[in-house]
Amino acid sequence: MRIIEGKKIAIVGAGKVGANIAYVMSIRHTCNELVLIDIDQKRAEGEVMDIKHGLPFLNQMEIYAGDYSDIKGCDIIVVTAGAKRKPGETRLDLAEKNCRIAKSITESIMKYYDGGIILVVSNPVDVLTYHVSKWTGLPRGTVVGSGTVLDGIRLRTLLSEKFNIDMKNVHAYVFGEHGETQFPAWSFSNISGFSIEDYCAASGIDLTEEEKSEIAEKTKKAGAEVIKRKGATFYGIGIATTELCNSFINNENTIRTVGCVLDGEYGLSDVVVNVPCIVGSKGIEKVLKVPLPPDEMELLHKSAAAVRSVIEVTADI
């Protein structure tokens, strides 16, 4: 196999999420070498073949189905593998099942790991990010959870529609877990430098507290609404994950709401919730301590408690 010199990424899991991340990366030319690893080797091979057939119209990239030995030399290892929630199955049932899968994957990765960022995308992402961090023993920030990056995009989309403004002008962030206890950090959100309140005054468009609650709920339920209609979500997370990997690969030092094990920030320790972080070539370069108002700080601590409760139940897996 002819390997092109340059950046290398491995994606563990060639299901719909993993395959779509690979597809978006091929379009964005995120790396020069991309390997898909899956327990179903033939599926991984099929996804690779399908993407390869489009490369002549895109960019030169070496993409192939491999195994865990191909982890060597990776700049980023993206973990997407995991079970889907079945009818009648609780969130905790899924967490226990996916923790077992993630532990097996982590052990396989670490047999060949020689550096690079481990980006956890599988759900429950915050719980898995915590456990993978502990199982690997890697320096903080090397294991990164994709966190609420996708939720933030969903929030920005809803606000851009509300205000009829280019979504690139909307800077809005979701804090907490990637799940039921997440919340928009309204105090940390703005539209081209205007606070939300100031933009409402300047534009003559009202955003009531009731509307804020509705937008927060729509943001939280967006994934479920997609699943209700088409059975799975993979385009949005494919784009969000690729954007994160571009930030790592290009050492962009950009701000994303991602997860790592907190160490005193926001009065929280030994838990993963998502807050603004500077991300670059080493993963999470810095956790930013935003001065949240008391009501949002309380929501963040409630979210951390929810994540911690699942971490504790799955601790012995």
Residues belonging to the active site = 178
Side-chain-side CA neighbours of 97 within 13 Å: the count stands at 13
Burial 226-242 (b: 16+ CB within 10 A, else e): beeeeeebbebbbbbbb
Among residues 208, 184, 197, which one has the least CA distance to residue 303?
184
- In this structure, the strands spanning 269-280 and 143-145 are unpaired
Left if phi > 0, otherwise alpha if psi is -120 to 50, otherwise beta: which for 45?
A: alpha
Long-range contacts formed by 81-84: CB under 8 A, 24+ apart: 81/12, 81/13, 81/15, 81/18, 81/38, 81/39, 81/105, 81/122, 82/13, 82/122, 82/123, 82/128, 84/232
Token pair of 102, please? 């993630």
Instruction: Give me the helices (H) in 29-117, please.
Output: 41-52, 91-110
Among residues 75, 238, 60, 239, which one has the least CA distance to residue 52?
60
Peptide bond into 293 cis (omega under 30): no
Question: Is the CB of residue 127 less than 8 Å from the CB of residue 272?
Answer: yes
Token pair of 136, please? 């690997």
